[in-house]
Every structure is written in structure tokens, then in C-alpha cells.
Structure 1
């Protein structure tokens, strides 16, 4: 294999890895964007909800027997989707017990200090979930191992064997599911009655209330739905990546960076932001040490913020 073929193969391999990892980042970001765009709550516990999806998926696949029932290929995907249902229930419970007291109409009369209460509460939830997970599951890394995790599809490009593309099966399947889920989320928000209710509650709480919309219920659905989407992303990531209770810390900054890059309040923009981060991370390894992946991400992040502060799909609002 000549040097040009090696360069092309490495470039294509990094590009594909960036697209697959970026698609999963994008799904995580969509969950966070759904919560923030509707509720205007900065949720520090989003990483722990991601890890919740990982453990729920592992439990459903192994202990409940979904892996035995559906096999090592369909089983992990169904376990990840059902794990999202578990995390949705957790998100609804967290909102009903805690977050409803510092968001929605209850927070409207707090003279601007509701954000301090929200930040403190979600940080407390984050610490409680991560340390609770450590007590329940221990610090030993877990993994949802299937044949897909260690096997790859090989594709010969340009009609020969000089340039080969190796596609990890678990990561490829997870990325395809992630893209389909993002499309489903976008259609749900744009086309369904519940989605329009969420958009109305996000735009103007008072007007939505006058129109007969239960804002607190809309916020509960937004928080549960955002938790579920990120939880499903966690279940998909668990198909190829080991995890433990503090794994969420590795992803929380990626999620926030992706949401800001895409534009605050834009769900589709959040996906594009996550996709951009995945591409930058993987393509940067062609010229930089692996330890500087995140440094490259934040250089691009700063450049985008300097040139387009509102993000890819954000809107410029003039304040008077």
C-alpha cells in the first residue's frame, strides 16, 4: 500500500468514526436541548441520566433476559430503547418531586433568582445520582458485550484492496438508530399536538396558560422526554464503550458545547452541534495527539462563538 492510499484510508476512517460518534453525541445533545429549550433549566444531572440509560440497558439486556430472548444483535438495541423508558420514569419522578418547585409557573415570581435554585438543585441531583450509583453498582467498569462490539464490517473502496474501511458494527448500528431517533424527535415536536404544547409553553408560559395549556405538565413531559432521549443515547453508547457511575462527567461538557454550537433552543441545531464535535474530535487525531482531542473541540467552539455567537441555528434577539 502506497503512502497516498494510507493517508486516504486514515482520513476516511477518521471521517466515518467522527460521523458515528458525532451522531450519538448529537442524540445526547438533543435530550439536553429539549429540556433547556422548553424549561430554560440548565440541568447538571444530564450526564447522570445518560449513565442511568447505560445501567438500565445493561440490566434489561442481561438480568431481565432481553439478550436471551432477542439475541445479541436486536437485543442491545431494544434494551437501549426500553432503558429510555426507565430513564423517562426517573426524569418524571425527579421533576414531580423536586424540579417543579423551581421551574414553571412556581418560579415566575422569584424575582430572577430561580436560576440559582435550579443550578443548585440539578447539581445536587447530579451528585446524589452519581454517588448513589457508586454505592449500588460499584466502581468496576461494566460493558454490554455482544459480537457487534468486537466485530467490524470491512468495505473495499475504489474497486480494490488498497483502501479498506472498517466499520465497527455496534457503533455503526448505534449511529443509525441515533439518526432515526433524532428525526422522530423533530417530527414529534413539529407535528404532534403534544409537541406544539411544548413549543407553546417554551415560547410564553403566561399565554400558554391562558390558552388552557398546563405548563407544569408540559415541563414534566419535556424533562422526562429529554432525560429519555439522553438515556437511550447512553444505552446505545454502552453497546461499545465500558462505563461506570462517573462516566457522565466525560460527556456533560460535550452535550453543553453541542447545544451552544447548534444554537440555544434549537433541537435540530443541537444534533448538528454534537455531530460537529464528533467530527472535530476524530479528524483532529490525524494531526494531533489523542490527548488534545478536546482541546481541538474547544478551539472550534470558540471560533464558532466568535464568528456566530447565536450558534448554527440560533436566532439573534435584539434587546431594548
Structure 2
């Protein structure tokens, strides 16, 4: 004879498991959108300039600190719930200009040397960007110290309720700060795609990515395009960092934690594809959050690389990569 109490207990346990999975999956989607924005910045530099930029994580770190200080300049960290998000948008011109300056100081002279082989050029770029990464992270350590910072917002302590689902059994909660950050990140990605596909600058960037020599013969200033691309890639990743700063604490070496995620997302999505980089970052965030259900937090990045290897074995071009398509 069936025991009603046991049946109700099993049903309740199953519903709780479903609720936990849905809650984590929802968090994975929102975090994945932020990762996708970061990956778009790296994918733009990597796809157009063929530079493996080890300093990309430091651009994210600078975006976090710039958002913090812009928020203070707007009236204090606790002046308004929207302050961190507004600050994350306002840092775009600052990081864009810094990226252009940094490229001109470190990589511009190397790009002008046509007598170097591709292997020598890539090796020099690796060393230069690694040096820039160390300078920026240690410089930030000297300026800001080791104390973790954050950009608090009232939205972080409130949530939007989704449901009830399946009758009155399941309720899902969406953190408002995550929801707003993901929404702004999605708008930023749409803006980048429109810029690359609908404007003259975007067409010039795509031409330089496909064949720099042919673009040069068509009258495109490759030197300027590379500077703009580097600055834009830095600014995009910095915005992703600024939006993420409202969710997590950060310190000068936080870039190292995210650079692995960004490269995994770019390779997963397909090198050379902006939309692919975005969806690759989304997949990384989703896998990272879902894996927390079954493995310890310390092994979450290992799960990302397992998925990366499986995808590359089945699809060497990445999930969205195509030989003839870049945006």
C-alpha cells in the first residue's frame, strides 16, 4: 500500500531539485551575457589584428576601478541604485582613449615593421602584451592596494519574482542587479554588431580583418583601423568589467581570473566572429554555473575546458566560426 506522506515527500524533493536547476540555469544565462560582452572585446582584437592580448584582463580590471571612481564622482557609491550602471557606460571614452594610447606606445612600431616574419611578430606581440599586463596589474596594486572593492547598488539586495510555475510549487528569483547588468550588456553587444555591419568604420574594420594588404590598396588606413580596433576592444571589455563590478568584489589581479574565461569563449564561439564570441561567452557562463550543481567551485573552470575540448574535437572552427565570415 502506498504511503501518501512518502509520495508527497518525493514529489516535494523533485520539485525542489527542478527549482534549483532552473534557478542556477537562469543565473548562468545572466552571467553568460556579461561574459559574452567581455569576449566580444577580446574577439574583436584577436579576430582583426591577430594579437593574443594577455592584457585584456587588465582592461576589465581598469573598467572595474574606473566604474568605482566614476561612481564616487557622481555623488558617492551609495548615492543612487543606478550609479554603478551609469558609471560603467561613462567609462567608454576613457578606456577607448587609453587603449589607443597603449597601442601607440607598445604595439604600433611593431606593426609597421614589414620585414619581420609572422612568427617573429607574434612572439614579440606575446611578450609585449604580457609585459603590459604585468605593468598594469602591478601599477594598480601600487595605486589601489590589495583590499577588495565593489560598486554596491540597492538592486543587488532585491529580486524580481518569476512564477509561480507548475501550479504554486516553484518560484524563481532574478537578482535585479544581475538582470540590469545583463540587459545593458546585451544592448552593448547589439550596438557593436550594428557598428560593425552598418557603418563605414565597421566595413573598414572587417576589410582589414579579411585582408589587410588588400584593404590598404583600397585606401583604408590600416594603422588607424588597428588603433581604433584596439581601443574599441579595450572599451568593450572594460564595460563588461564595470557591469560585473556591481555583482562581485575585485582587486588588481582580478583580470587573471577572467582572461581564461574570455579566451575560452572566443575559441568556443569561433575566432573572427563577433556574434560567435558573444554566444561562446554565454555558453561559458552557463556551463560554469550549471557545473556548480555537481562539482566544487574550484573545479568549475576545469569543466569549461572539458567542454572546450569536446567542442573543438567535433567542430574545430568553433560553434559559430566560418572560414569566410567574420561578423
Stretches of structure 1 that go unaligned for 5 or more consecutive residues are none
73, 84, 96: which one aligns with 2:81: 73
C-alpha distance in 2 between matches for 1:18 and 1:280 = 7
Structure 2 residue ranges without an equivalent (≥5):
1-10
Q: Is the 8 A contact 1:88 1:228 kept in 2?
A: yes
Which residue, out of 15, 19, 25, partners 2:25? 15
The within-5 A match list for 1:52-67 is 52-65=62-75
Alpha carbons 2:161, 2:172 under 8 Å: kept: yes
Q: In the alignment, which residue of structure 2 is the partner of 1:309? A: 316
Aligned-residue offset at 1:41? 0.7
After TM superposition, the structure 1 = structure 2 runs for residues 1-320 of structure 1, keeping only pairs within 5 Å, are: 2-65=12-75, 72-103=80-111, 106-112=112-118, 113-158=120-165, 160-316=167-323
Counterparts in 2 of 1:107 and 1:170: CA distance versus 1, 3 Å: farther
Distance in 1 between the 2:15 and 2:304 partners? 27
CA deviations on 1:181-205 (whole Å, 9 max, x unpaired) are 1111111101100000111111112
Q: What TM-score results when the alignment is normalised by the length of structure 2?
A: 0.92
Cα-to-partner distance string for 1:26-73 (whole Å, 9 max, x where unaligned): 0000000011111111100000000000000000001343767xx523
Q: Which moved more, 1:227-236 or 1:147-156?
A: 147-156
Query: RMSD in angstroms over aligned alpha carbons?
Result: 1.6
In the TM superposition, what whole-angstrom CA distance separates every residue of 1:101-124 from its partner, at most 9, and x where no partner exists? 123xx1432022110110000000
* Cα distance in structure 1, aligned partners of 2:99 and 2:76: 23
Aligned residue for 2:81, secondary structure, equals helix
| SS of aligned partner of 1:167 | strand
Kept in 2, the 8 Å contact 1:54–1:83? The answer is no
Q: Residue 72 of structure 1 aligns to a residue in which SS?
A: coil
Larger Rg: 2
Stretch moving more, 162-171 or 122-131: 162-171
- Matched residues, number: 313
Distance 1:195 1:284 in 2: 37
Aligned-pair distance for 1:159?
A: 6.4
Deviation of 1:160 (Å): 4.6
2:310 aligns to what SS in structure 1?
helix
CA distance in 1, matches of 2:93, 2:214: 31
Worse overlay, 29-38 or 81-90: 81-90
Indicate conservation of the 8 Å contact 2:31/2:182, yes or no.
Answer: yes
2: distance between equivalents of 1:138 and 1:67?
18
CA contact (8 A) 2:63 2:95 kept: yes
- Kindly indicate whether the alpha-carbon contact (under 8 Å) linking 2:165 and 2:171 is maintained by their aligned counterparts in 1: no
Once structures 1 and 2 are overlaid, which stretch shifts more, 213-222 or 162-171?
162-171
2:3 corresponds to which residue?
none
Provide the rounded CA distance (Å) in 2 between the counterparts of 1:67 and 1:132: 23
Secondary structure in 2 aligned to 1:102? helix
User: Matched residues in 1 for 2:251 and 2:132: separation?
Assistant: 17
Task: With the length of structure 1 as denominator, give the TM-score of the two structures.
Answer: 0.94
SS in 2 for 1:154: strand
